[in-house]
Amino acid sequence: MTKIIAFETSCDDTCVAIYSDGNVFSNLIYSQDHNKFGGIFPEKASRNHLETISKLTEYALQEANMSLSDIDAIAVTYAPGLVGSLMVGVQFAKSIAWSSKKYLVPVHHIEGHILSAKYDCNLSFPYGCLVVSGGHTLLCIAHDLGKYEILGKSLDDAVGECFDKVARCIGLNQPGGPAIEALSIGVEPSIKFSIPLLHAETLNFSLSGLKTAAIRAFDQNNAKEIASSLQHTIAVMLSNKLSKASAQFPEIMNWAIVGGVAANKYIFAYIQQSCTNIKLFSPSKKLCTDNALMIAYTAAQYVEKFGLSKYSYNHSMALMPISRLSIENL
């Protein structure tokens, strides 16, 4: 069985996982703290990855009770993300692949999130998928490995980005999504924000107007009221899009929510309660937020489909990070 070590450094989490044929030998995440900068500081993020990645790799191998010689292939996130952050993971993976003559499998970060639901919720293709992370908001149908049909995406901010920016303005720590969820517990959503693109036919999203409205409302309302009302408005907006999408594709029964925002229990429960005609899934919390297990699993799916020989280190030395790349162009 192919043993894979995976690296994920697309944003501010340094992640290493070791995986083989359904067994997780290690899944480590080192989350950086950018609170004093008020948001992710890209230069600092890539330096932090550089300082952390070798030690984290040593820990992962120790936890798996393996050495590099036990590993068959290396997987790495090469797109999309902060280019300096991606660069650290890609160059680290390339160096190991070259020096130890191992196979190197490049993985698209969003495909990793989409397949985290296949892995953790035991789904088979095709399934619908709502990706809600700090950098991306999109609705798609996962037809097969590498075949994703985008139904809608954010025209401006991502859902996680909206949570993070509003959280910062109302005095909460980063990442803002979990801070907003925690502050909203037991608080009735009292502010009636208008719901972006609610009556439009489009499956696209727009978050920047809602973000501005939530920040402005801080003049008249406290942080708890804003947090709870924003979280509720986003839940209504997402459930509206999912119910429209499921009506357009009645043959798709299984829908998954993935990415960091999928860890939000209020949002998941709200959508589950309102979209009763579909089966709704979401990976466990550790697999919703950034992790290298989803990257290892995605690489394993490609290796199973195309064989290892396609990923020889000789071919992979040209691999470079790409900051923006749609999953429709894999």
Q: By the criterion CB under 5 A, which residues form the site for Zn ion? A: 133, 290
Contact by Cβ (8 Å): 310, 299: no
Residue 69 contacts by C-beta under 8 Å, 6 or more apart in sequence?
100
Query: Of the ranges 68-76, 130-138, 217-225, 248-256, which one interacts with ligand KG4 (CB under 6 A)?
Result: 130-138
For the CB of residue 10, give the shortest distance to ligand KG4 in the complex, in Å: 7
H helix runs in the chain, sequence order: 42-64, 83-100, 109-120, 159-169, 176-184, 208-216, 223-248, 265-274, 285-288, 293-306, 313-316
**261 scored as a contact of ligand KG4 (CB under 6 A):** yes
133 lies in the binding site for ligand KG4 (CB under 6 A): yes
CB of 117 to ligand KG4, least distance (A): 13
Identify what 263 binds: ligand KG4, Zn ion, none; CB under 5 to 8 Å per kind.
Answer: ligand KG4
Residue 226: which residues within 8 A CB-CB, separation 6 or more?
A: 166, 170, 191, 214, 217, 218
Q: Considering the rule CB under 6 A, would residue 112 count as an interface residue with ligand KG4?
A: no
Q: How far is the CB of 96 from ligand KG4 (least distance, A)?
A: 24
Q: Is 80 one of the binding residues for ligand KG4 (CB under 6 A)?
A: no
- Rounded Cα distance, 202 and 289, in Å: 27
Burial of 144 (0-12, 13-18, 19+ CB in 10 A): exposed
CA distance 20 to 71: 10
The distance of closest approach from Cβ of residue 81 to Zn ion in the complex, given in angstroms and rounded to an integer, is 8
Whichever of 85 and 316 has its CB closer to ligand KG4, that residue is 85
Helix axes 208-216, 159-169, angle to 10 degrees: 20
User: Which residue's CB comes closest to ligand KG4?
Assistant: 177
Say whether residue 11 binds ligand KG4 (CB under 6 A): yes
Q: Which does 25 bind (CB under 5 to 8 A by kind): Zn ion, ligand KG4, none?
A: none
- Binding mask of the shown chain, residues 150 to 189, with x at each position contacting ligand KG4 by CB under 6 A: ----------x--xx----------xxxx--x--------
Our CB check for Zn ion shows the closer of 158 and 236 to be: 158
Please state whether beta strands 127-132 and 137-144 pair in parallel, antiparallel, or not at all (unpaired). antiparallel
264 contributes a contact to ligand KG4 by CB under 6 A: yes
- What 8-state DSSP symbol labels residue 245? H
Cβ nearer to Zn ion, comparing 120 with 225: 120
Q: What is the bridge-based pairing of β-strands 73-79 and 4-8?
A: parallel
Binding site for ligand KG4 (CB under 6 A): 11, 133-135, 160, 163-164, 175-178, 181, 259-261, 263-264, 289-290
